[in-house]
Amino acid sequence: MHDGDRARAAGRRRRAGCLLVENWKGALGGHGRASFFYDGRQGRWHMTFVTDDGEILSLVGTRQGESVVLVGTNHFDVYVGLHRMTWSPLPGGGVRQYWELSSDGGATWRRVHDGHYARRP
């Protein structure tokens, strides 16, 4: 993952490709683990972040066109508010993670993170 060399992540597929587990190190110094998976019964995608100090951010969403859009609310750290994360395919097989935050219930959004993931050669 690349975001101006400020954040790093390494992911692994688990459970026959149905679960992606990511170990991440944030630009602000924190680190933790994220799980990304699809719940076929609900027809929804889920992503859960667990930080090094035990805080949790859970996002839920659906596929919208070629992208997966997830939303959830955070009640800790400097990113309190409604989160929207969009995962979109990139040419060559990579993906873009575009993360936004709203402090007014979704009326306006500001970028938190714009990361590009690619498989290592």
Q: Calculate mean pLDDT across residues 55-59.
A: 93
Give the CATH number of domain 8-117.
Answer: 2.40.128
pLDDT for the residue numbered 45: 95
Q: Which of 111, 53, 116 is nearest to 88 (CA)?
A: 116
Residue 15: pLDDT above 50? no
pLDDT for the residue numbered 6: 41
pLDDT for the residue numbered 91: 92
Per domain, the residue ranges of the chain are 8-117
Provide CB contacts within 8 A for 11, sequence distance 6+.
Answer: 20, 21, 22, 23, 117
Q: Could you tell me the pTM of the whole model?
A: 0.82
Using DSSP's 3-state secondary structure scheme, residue 30 falls into: coil
pLDDT band at 17 (very low <50, low <70, confident <90, very high): low
pLDDT for the residue numbered 114: 95
